[in-house]
Chains A and B, each alone.
Chain A
């Protein structure tokens, strides 16, 4: 059961003088959902497109289901479902016509109707593609990726720019695919998406894997469950708070102090006492459970979204 579905070793992709992917290794086990999490421009799409056989790596080796892209690519594609980032379809075909077209490329698989039902687009089956909303288009592209009953599903930012409800629907479809034993490789810059869907996550920054593990393991590596964020009227050196018991680490970003703590109910009173003693006026205080975002901030000093 724990066979390797996707293996990339020493992947490098160089465009002229830019190195998009810089020696990246990853292994995705059969039946798991693996996430590539990272900010825009981290090299996620380039990595996934190399794995999909759409770009050839400058260096490195790729094995998908034990096969390589330079031989039997068409055979291999029969077993994969690929959703590109911001997929587009012919404007004036209906949803049903589009899925039928994609179904015709696969030797086996569902009927087009079945695929449309899986992504709950039945009501739009006879509508032109250009009449669909962003979320509906994204579900259509999922239907096209799933119609050949693939063993591996590649999703490149499947929910970027979608409203929360559309996002939930797509997550449901991915979860159902996994229940049938499918393997998923997805890229995202939404930590909630990675936490919710993925068994394992590789955090990618500047073309490299900087952390790898289950979302729980990665968050656990912070050695703290909670993060306290403070904003003050006048700046205060982070070190002055680091000496407090209960505070495990302090960082600063754009005037916001971020403290990782294990027990907020004990840390916050201590903190407030210390600030009062120093005469520092508080303008904002917030606490939250640690997330993958905090892991990324801890590792890079930057946020996922604005870096």
Chain B
């Protein structure tokens, strides 16, 4: 036993894990922050029945009839208000549309807002029918509320990927630059420690943390939001491991040269910002134009997010995720090798 525990890689990884676990701030950012983010976004975009659209009606003759009529329509909530209030509320988004009574009725709305356009159709429909319009054809409707197609189902794998990236990069980048600044690295280089062991331990120390961090977020999502995990749990675990390695490698590379915390922070943000925006964490990558797609698909976070979504939402197997895994694996290996080469030890 003692031989195994005494191995330098084990001791270095233990030191790394202890460093992370004994930092209260790390616990917050790694465990609590993603859960809070998931919770608030999950609530904000919850799919608990159609939302009511708020409609403002300006005070004038005939306004009472309009308010009453709209009040009876499903998914609309009408309120009587002065023209000044109406203008203010429309401008700030507190109402989706304002009806100005008179002949003709005036619909005052913002065509760039989806809820406003929707209100325009719904209000007109309700008022015209109440005024006596008959539809030439009968219509029946059916509603889809399938698990896996909600926003939260899209969001959770993205948050998981983003968290793997954030903790991987900050957790490794900060501590390495700190160690360099405080001459901790130099003290180790003066011993027979193998340099590759040190870099590997930075990645390995992350893995122990990873298990907890992924467990908390996925457990929370399944328990509170009933988010599905359709693929194999083992595949999900392997993917998280691979994703964490990728970002640990990227973290090593970013931290390879900087000598100050300010320097590494700037570099981290520079590297992560494009991925926060483009890699499909909060909305689909399909929103970006075609000419950007090759670059976006090559980003490590895009690969990790797509693979996580594939497993959780679509139940994909490792073989189906081959492309994403290859991209993530390439980043991991390339970053580690480059970091090893560029690393500044003193």
Q: Which residues of A contact B (CB under 8 A)?
A: 52, 54, 74-75, 77-78, 82, 84, 86-90, 92-93, 97, 100-107, 141, 144, 148
Partner of A54, one of B23, B192, B193, B346: B346
Q: Are A88 and B11 in contact (CB under 8 A)?
A: no
Q: Are A92 and B18 in contact (CB under 8 A)?
A: yes
With CB as the reference atom, state the residue of chain B lying closest to A73.
Answer: B192
Q: Assuming A77-B192, A84-B190, A93-B15, what are 5 further A-B pairs, CB within 8 angstroms?
A: A74-B194, A84-B183, A84-B186, A89-B187, A97-B14
Min distance, Cβ A112 to any Cβ of chain B, angstroms: 9
Map CB proximity to A onto B178-211 as digits: 1 under 8 Å, 0 otherwise. 0100111011111111100000000000000000
Residues of B within 8 A of A77 (CB): 190-192
Q: Which residues of B contact A (CB under 8 A)?
A: 6-8, 10-12, 14-15, 18-19, 22-23, 179, 182-184, 186-194, 346
CA distance A89 to B19 in the complex (A): 11
Partner of A92, one of B6, B8, B10, B22: B22
Q: Are A88 and B184 in contact (CB under 8 A)?
A: yes
Residues of B within 8 A of A101 (CB): 11-12, 14-15
With CB as the reference atom, state the residue of chain A lying closest to B16.
Answer: A90
Residues of A within 8 A of B18 (CB): 92-93, 97
Partner of B10, one of A93, A102, A104: A104
Residues of B within 8 A of A141 (CB): 187
CB within 8 Å for A54 and B190 given contacts A100-B11, A104-B11: yes
CA distance A105 to B10 in the complex (A): 11
CA distance A107 to B191 in the complex (A): 11
CB within 8 Å for A90 and B190 given contacts A54-B346, A97-B18, A104-B7: no
Min distance, Cβ B148 to any Cβ of chain A, angstroms: 42
Residues of A within 8 A of B194 (CB): 74
Residues of A within 8 A of B22 (CB): 92
CA distance A106 to B193 in the complex (A): 8
Min distance, Cβ B113 to any Cβ of chain A, angstroms: 51
- A-B contacts, 27 of them at CB < 8 A, read A52-B190, A54-B186, A54-B189, A77-B190, A82-B190, A84-B183, A84-B190, A88-B183, A89-B184, A90-B184, A92-B18, A92-B22, A92-B23, A93-B18, A93-B19, A97-B15, A100-B11, A103-B6, A104-B11, A105-B188, A105-B193, A106-B191, A106-B192, A141-B187, A144-B187, A144-B191, A148-B191
Partner of A87, one of B12, B15, B183, B189: B183
CA distance A24 to B133 in the complex (A): 104
Residues of A within 8 A of B190 (CB): 52, 54, 77, 82, 84
CA distance A13 to B50 in the complex (A): 75
With CB as the reference atom, state the residue of chain B lying closest to A89.
Answer: B184
With CB as the reference atom, state the residue of chain B lying closest to A103.
Answer: B6
CA distance A88 to B187 in the complex (A): 8
Min distance, Cβ B271 to any Cβ of chain A, angstroms: 26
Residues of B within 8 A of A106 (CB): 191-192
CA distance A107 to B346 in the complex (A): 24
With CB as the reference atom, state the residue of chain B lying closest to A54.
Answer: B190
